Each structure stands twice: as structure tokens, then as C-alpha cells.
Amino acid sequence: MPEDTADPPSRGPIDAEILDRIAAHLARSDRFDDIQTRPEYAPNAVVADYDLGYFPGGVTRAYLRIRWFETDDFSIHYSEQYQTGNEWECRWDRHPNDHNTREHFHQPPDASTPGEDADYPDDWRDILATVLTDLDDRIKAFWDE
């Protein structure tokens, strides 16, 4: 399920400084092959493509798309894309909405709405650590099966 790309005014402007810090943080990880800060096709985000060596055959792309706002609202969207054309997606969000509390998680495999209400730490580094740990568990499960 594609993420809604419209930014409601209540989210405020993109926090470019935090996005730059997130990109620098992700660049220190061996998980990612390519990290782009505000690329032309996603000028309000950091897009980090995973190294496909972490995944079994059939996965053609796995990536994070992270948007962070000056209001400390955020959207962290994870997607795996397969040769079959299928996708596996989930999303961690903090933003005002009419479908959940401000903090919520959209469950895989399709990141459907509404999500599940959640509680996230205050600091972006702690939120990112939580997300990366969850995704490490997802990737590890491929190899434990």
C-alpha cells in the first residue's frame, strides 16, 4: 500500500537538519547500499536502500523512506519488493490523524490503515534504533526459517 505523500499543514515543514543527521547515522551502517538525502523523487525524505545480500533471492529491493518534520512528527516507511511484483510493507508514524492516536504503527504485510496505537521515545536516535532493531529481527527471520 503506497504511503500518503500529501503533508497535512499540521505536520509543519520538513526538518532538513534531522534528515541530514539521520542520513549520516545510516551511512555508518553496513546494512545499506545507497542512502539519498532528499532525492528528486522524494524531496522531503531520506531514502536508504538495503544491501540485498541480507535478503534471500526473490527480493529485488528493500528500503526505508524517512520523513521528519519540525514538529517532531515523522513517517518511517519500510518496503520489500519481490520479483513476483508483491510487496511487504510497514510504517512507523507520529502525526495527527483521524484513524489512530498521534503515534501509531501500520502493520505488515501491507501497512494498512488504521494502524495500531504505539508509544515511541522522544529522541529521533532512539526511534531509529527501535525501527532498525525491528527490521534486523525481520531480516534474521528469513535465515532462521
At 138, list the grid cell: 525481520
pLDDT value at 2 more than 70: no
Instruction: Tell me the pLDDT tens digit for each residue of 19-28.
Output: 999 999 999 9
Rounded Cα distance between 104 and 78, Å, is: 14
**Predicted local confidence at residue 96, as pLDDT:** 86
Q: Where are the alpha helices (DSSP H) in 1-145?
A: 16-27, 124-144
Instruction: Tell me the pLDDT tens digit for each residue of 32-57.
Output: 999 999 988 888 999 999 999 999 98
pLDDT value at 123 more than 70: yes
pLDDT value at 130 more than 80: yes
Mean of the pLDDT values across residues 86-114?
Answer: 91
Q: What residue spans define the domains of the chain? A: 9-144
Enclosing H/E stretch for 77: strand 74-82
pLDDT tier at 145, thresholds 50, 70, 90: low
**Predicted local confidence at residue 86, as pLDDT:** 94
**Predicted local confidence at residue 143, as pLDDT:** 87
**Predicted local confidence at residue 99, as pLDDT:** 85
Cβ pair 50, 132 in contact under 8 A = no
Average of per-residue pLDDT values in the chain: 90
Rounded Cα distance between 45 and 39, Å, is: 7
Rounded Cα distance between 34 and 14, Å, is: 21
At 107, list the grid cell: 502493520
